Each structure stands twice: as structure tokens, then as C-alpha cells.
Amino acid sequence: MRSGPILLLSLCCLSFRHVDDGTGVTRFAQTASVPSIQTDIPSLCTALASDFPLGAAIWPGALTGLHGELLKKHFNSITAENDMKWQHVEPVEGKFEFGPADELVSFAKANHMLVRGHTLVWDQQNPTWLFKDVQGRDMTPTPENKALLLQRLSRHIRAVVSHFGNDVYAWDVVNEPIDPSQPDGFRHSAWYRITGTDYIDTAFRVAHETAPTAKLYINEYATTNPRKRGLLLKLVRELKNRGVPLYGVGHQMHVNLDYPRASAITQTVHMFAAAGMDNQITELDVSVYQNDQQRYSSAPTALLARQGYRYRDLFRCFRKLKGSISAVTFWGLADDHTWLAHYPVDRPNWPLLFDAALQAKPAYWGVVNPRRLPRRK
């Protein structure tokens, strides 16, 4: 564990500054001027080398300086947190902007890391032109608009997937298509309203035609929820019956200290594996909150210890599932940059393995060596 003086130094260095989180929105983020990363602790991805590759989703700032050092030491896979999303790569129709994503891929190649692509089709972070008809009005569900939207989808996927080629080994092709609150179980996004489920088939078929060896996933959150899981399984089976080239299911795994239990994760992965699916954990983080009302201004020590045990249990579960789970990716590198500082409400959160000063938390030890977790009170 961290020694007293280092802890003090870390805390002294904490400050708040404005950052652009990659969505173009400037926000406050907890940041730190960091003295150094710990060089005397085990590398996470080396410790897990016989289980699965270990990834982090990152913003461009995490490629340089001490963040870059931490990333190289502990991870052998990276994902762009935002820089491969439609809004970022094709903000204007036919004009592709790959700069930040290319930098991420170059970093990965220079450091022998895998790249997971995220994401080709989603109902969020899209440019406004995408759902406008030829007259510039919001698309309504007509046969003409359906054809136009599927054409835009095919062109986008061909351009993006061919640009990265074999540098991206896996793609989240369709993100979050299920909505258990709908009677038909599908998210009623513009994609669905205009094309039905054809957007899903088209996205997978075009991605596969363009990169036949890439592993293609449906990525979804709350996959342990029984109704949602059932709906996703049904979709998976229907896609397979239609010959759609789906390789696996991405389980986002934005979880909290208690929910879902590891046993529910195990059961879920087994169910998808039995349906012929590979599984990846794609967006792991452990919020310290149980509901939208809680808010701590600093991280309670007892909760960080509980989080350490929670990570221990999660990784015991993932490791037992090796063979059915082919990768685990965290949705972030360290607590200085996490989407949970703004979702579901603005508040500090500490969901990752390294603190805002890039030092190992109990969560880190829970993954790598649970004997070093703080004693339970």
C-alpha cells in the first residue's frame, strides 16, 4: 500500500482544472501534478497474461507523460473513449477526421498493444446531418429515408473500418440496441424508427465484408438484468439464424460496489457462451455510489477498501470464465478522468484502479494481489 508521505504528497498535488473530455464540452476534472508512477508494483497485464488482454479506454491526454507511462506498464490493449465515435470521425458527411484516433493506434502499435474499436453505430454522439433527409428535415420513417440512412451507414462503416484495417482487432459494431422498457425490447433510436432492425444486420455485414478477420461485437450495458439479457439473447439468436457475422457480446460492466453479484455475471456469460458467443468485458468501472443522490467530496477510505474487495471478486469471476471471456477493458485509466464524474449526475467518483495521482488503490491490489487489501473492519 501507499506510504504516508507519498499519500500526503499525492493529496497536496490534487487540484481542479478545466478539461475537454473529448465531447467538446469543457468540464471540471480532478487532476493532479503527479510526482511519478509506481515502478515497484506488478504490471497488471503481465499478471493477467495467461487469462486475457487487459485494456483501458482513454482520451488523447492519457497517451503522454506519466499517464502514458502508466498505460504502457499496466495495459496491453486500448480503446478510444470517444475518438472513434461517429460525431468525431465523420462530423460532416464524407469528411473523415481520423487524427486523434490515428495517434491512439500509433501509440498502440509502438507499444505492442491491441486496439478495440468503439463504436460504429450508436444512438448517441452522432452528427446532426446523419438523421436529416435530403431536404434537411428530421428523417421520418419512409422507404426513401430508410434507404438513405442505410447507405450512409454502409459508407461510414466501410470508410472507418478500412481506414484502420488490421490495426483494430475487434469492433463494437452496434452499441446498446436493447431497451427492456419497450414492449418489443428494442431501443427506439432514430436507427430503429427509420430502419427497424435492418441497421443492425447491415452494420455487421458491411463491417465483416470490409475487415473479414475483425471480431465483431454487440455491446450492451446491464446484461445481467434478466429481461434485458433475454431480449439480447433473442436478438443474438435471430442474427445468427439470419447469417449475420456476429462474433460476440460486449458486456459494458458499469457496476457498483454490490450490484450485480459475481454469480449473476457468471450465469450471464455462460448463457451467451452457450449461444455460441464470445464475451468481452468492455467498459468496466466500479462506482462508489448506490444511487443518484449520494455525493462524497472526497473518497471515503472504507469505501475504497470495499471497492478493493469488489474488484477482487470481479476478477476471480472473470478469471474463472477465461475461455468464455476473451478480453477485459476498463472505462478509463485513473480516477482523474472518468465519465462517472458527469454521469448520471455531476459528482466526484473514484471507479478505477489508480487514484487521481496515478497511484495504486486498494482496487488495484484486489486485482493483482488480494492479500495486500486493507483488513476488513
Three-class DSSP labels, 152-215: HHHHHHHHHHHHHHHHCCEEEEEECCECCCCCCCECCCHHHHHHCCHHHHHHHHHHHHHCCCCE
CA–CA distance, 125 with 121 (Å, rounded to integer): 10
Residue 5 to residue 312: CA distance in whole angstroms: 27
Minimum distance, C-beta of residue 47 to ligand XIL, in the bound complex (Å) = 26
Rank residues 331 and 365 by Cβ distance to ligand XIL and give the closer one. 331
Q: Which of 31, 77, 82, 202 binds ligand XIL (CB under 6 A)?
A: 82
Which value, in Å, is the radius of gyration of the alpha carbons in the chain? 21
- Residue 193 CB neighbours (<10 A): 16
Which positions are catalytic? 176, 283
- Taking CA 218 as the corner, what is the angle to CA 213 and CA 220, rounded to the nearest 5 degrees? 150
Q: How far is the CB of 58 from ligand XIL (least distance, A)?
A: 10
Stretch of 19-27, 92-100, 160-168, 291-299 lying at the interface with ligand XIL (CB under 6 A): 19-27
C-beta closer to ligand XIL: residue 164 or 339: 339
Nearer to ligand XIL, 20 or 144 (CB): 20
By CB under 6 A, tell whether 283 contacts ligand XIL: yes
For ligand XIL, the closer of residues 176 and 201 by Cβ is 176
| 21: contact with ligand XIL by CB under 6 A | yes
The nearest distance, CB 3 to ligand XIL, in angstroms, is 32
**Residue with the closest Cβ to ligand XIL?**
339
In the complex, minimum distance from the CB of residue 320 to ligand XIL, in angstroms, rounded to a whole number: 26
- Contact segment (CB under 6 A) with ligand XIL among 2-10, 18-26, 72-80, 288-296 equals 18-26
Place of cell 504516508: 4
Give me the least distance between CB of 83 and ligand XIL, in Å please: 10
Contacts of 147 (CB under 8 A, 6+ apart): none
Tell me how far apart the alpha carbons of residues 152 and 150 are, in angstroms, rounded to a whole number.
5
Q: Is 81 in the site for ligand XIL (CB under 6 A)?
A: yes
Helix (H, G, I), strand (E, B) or coil at 227: helix
248 Cβ contact list (under 8 Å, min separation 6)? 215, 216, 217, 218, 272, 277, 278, 279, 280, 326
Q: Which of 339, 350, 364, 365 binds ligand XIL (CB under 6 A)?
A: 339
Q: What is the DSSP letter of 262?
A: H
- Binding flag, residue 252, ligand XIL (CB under 6 A): yes
175 contacts ligand XIL (rule: CB under 6 A): yes
**Which stretches of the chain bind ligand XIL, using CB under 6 A?**
21-23, 81-82, 175, 252, 283, 339
